[in-house]
Structure 1
Amino acid sequence: MLFPLSLISLGILGARVATAGPGGGDAGAKACPEVHVFGARETTTPPGFGTSQTLIDLLIKRFPSTTAEAIVYPAAGGDEYSKSVGTGILAVVRQTAAFAVRCPSSIIIMHGYSQGAQIMDDAFCGGPDLPQLNSSVPLVSGAVARGVAAIIMMGNPRNVEGLPYHIGNSTAGGFAARPKGFRCRQFEDRIQSYCDSPDPFCSNGNDPVTHQGYGKEYGQDALEFILSKLVAN
């Protein structure tokens, strides 16, 4: 699916910047943006964008009128991880739906990192995953499904070998891997998911530095993917 964007096709966007804080409460309050990006941080990172900030900064640098909104959820680890994922899924569904109602003509970009990728994966591709998610269908609203142009996931624990949108050299699944043969058919042409084999969370490696490095390693590639979805032929 391609999203025509006249100003992007001209290589320019307006100079106004309207980046929302972690709550995203004032995003688009003055005027709806052409592009709005949601970012979800990794486990145990303080509220905000976490490592998803790297790609978000690249996008805003390229097109300064892009607005950004952090998914508000615990991003908890340990015994609270399962509950945190369930809360995060609901946060993705609710925040994106609220924005789509407020700004129905805006284009939506999603970017999740680690646990943040897992909650976006579940919200757009369904479950089952953990006790909190038993639905096998997408949970996002129809307006969000129509408005989302690209979904970027980095270090996703739901990674599994063979997905058509996988980028990287991992051949093993993450600790919450999808079942073999899984497809996210409604959105797979809009997803790019990054995972390399040394990663201990989206793969079976033992190098946490790899897990934290996707923004630097693949940020430009992800940005070009997003742009390919924004500009019509």
Structure 2
Amino acid sequence: MKVSTPLVFASGALAMPSANLEARQSCAKVHVFGARESTVPQGYGSSQAMIQLIQGAYPGTTSEAIVYPAAGGNAYGSSVTSGITAVVNQVSSFVERCPDTKVVMVGYSQGSQIMDDAFCGGPDGSSMSETASPLPADVGEHVAALIFMGDPRNVPGLAYNVGTAQAGGFAARPSGYTCPTYADRIQSYCDAQDPYCSNGNDANHHQQYVQIYGQQALAFVKEKVGSV
């Protein structure tokens, strides 16, 4: 009896590192989170085409959709609130499981807004009152690149802006705002025709960012992720 108890304990102690090692060995070298635009079914929405470009550049890349309402209308604010929480929880959970994986974020429209808030902080109307990012800094360290397309939080003059927009989106940040920690890892795509991230009147243009800027965005991701 004096021998069996420590042997059982030792067996359990050895099993835990083995399980952790097996879990890490199953992790991809690159993992992409995608967040869809408003009112489309759960999944990737228009972010999927960008994710597929990244997967083509890095074979074996895994992906995961942010699970949130993506609601429009009067439910938009609460949808953003839920989305911010989902980004923080899903990215944190993944990084805990796969700490050696390089993470890429791709958000489209409202999907960009929830990522923008999660990484860069608020305030954002009823959805977010604080200015600090809710994403833990030690989690954010694992994120190599963030691609925002048609972000309603767009404001002119940011160093990471790409496109022709000279006006802010309907949830624009204050003039002169910069993302305090992740600015050098962001590219945010918005054109003047877009009525959601700018003040244009061509809603169809809002759906064309991967078609127009996909290869440029992919080059940015490859620069940040590097060879894996």
Q: TM-score range by the shorter chain?
A: 0.7 to 0.9
1:121-140 per-position Cα deviation (integer Å, ceiling 9, x unaligned): 00000000022311211111
| 1:29 Cα offset (Å) | 8.2
Establish whether residue 190 from structure 1 lines up as the match of residue 185 from structure 2. yes
| 1:189 Cα offset (Å) | 0.2
Match of 1:212 in 2: 207
Measure the CA separation in 2 of the matches of 1:168 and 1:69. 27
Measure the CA separation in 1 of the matches of 2:172 and 2:127. 16
SS in 2 for 1:158: coil
SS in 2 for 1:131: helix
Matches within 5 A, 1:1-233: 31-231=26-226
1:30-52 per-position Cα deviation (integer Å, ceiling 9, x unaligned): 70111100000000011100000
Kept after mapping to 2: 8 A contact 1:108/1:144? no
Measure the CA separation in 1 of the matches of 2:44 and 2:58. 18
Measure the CA separation in 2 of the matches of 1:30 and 1:68. 17
- Greater helix fraction, Structure 1 or Structure 2: 2
User: Partner letter of residue 112 of structure 2?
Assistant: A
Kept after mapping to 1: 8 A contact 2:24/2:98? no
Please identify runs of 4+ aligned residues in structure 1 that moved more than 6 A.
none
- List alignment gaps of at least 5 residues for structure 1: 1-27
SS in 2 for 1:229: helix
TM-score by length of 2: 0.88
Kept after mapping to 2: 8 A contact 1:97/1:143? no
SS in 2 for 1:144: helix
SS in 2 for 1:185: coil
Measure the CA separation in 1 of the matches of 2:138 and 2:56. 27
1:53-87 per-position Cα deviation (integer Å, ceiling 9, x unaligned): 01100111121211000000000000100000000
Match of 1:18 in 2: none
SS in 2 for 1:75: coil
User: Partner letter of residue 135 of structure 1?
Assistant: E
Match of 1:16 in 2: none
Kept after mapping to 1: 8 A contact 2:152/2:169? yes
Measure the CA separation in 2 of the matches of 1:29 and 1:77. 38
Measure the CA separation in 2 of the matches of 1:63 and 1:109. 12
CA RMSD of aligned residues (A): 1.2
Kept after mapping to 1: 8 A contact 2:144/2:185? yes
Once the two structures are overlaid, the 10-residue window that deviates more, 28-37 or 83-92, is 28-37
| 1:143 Cα offset (Å) | 2.9
SS in 1 for 2:107: strand
Measure the CA separation in 2 of the matches of 1:141 and 1:185. 13
Measure the CA separation in 2 of the matches of 1:184 and 1:213. 25
Q: Which has the larger radius of gyration?
A: 2
Match of 2:19 in 1: none
| 1:185 Cα offset (Å) | 2.5
SS in 1 for 2:166: coil
User: Partner letter of residue 215 of structure 2?
Assistant: Q
Higher normalized contact order (CA 8 Å, seq sep 6+, divided by chain length): 1
| 1:113 Cα offset (Å) | 0.2
Measure the CA separation in 1 of the matches of 2:127 and 2:162. 28
Question: Between Structure 1 and Structure 2, how many residues are aligned?
Answer: 205
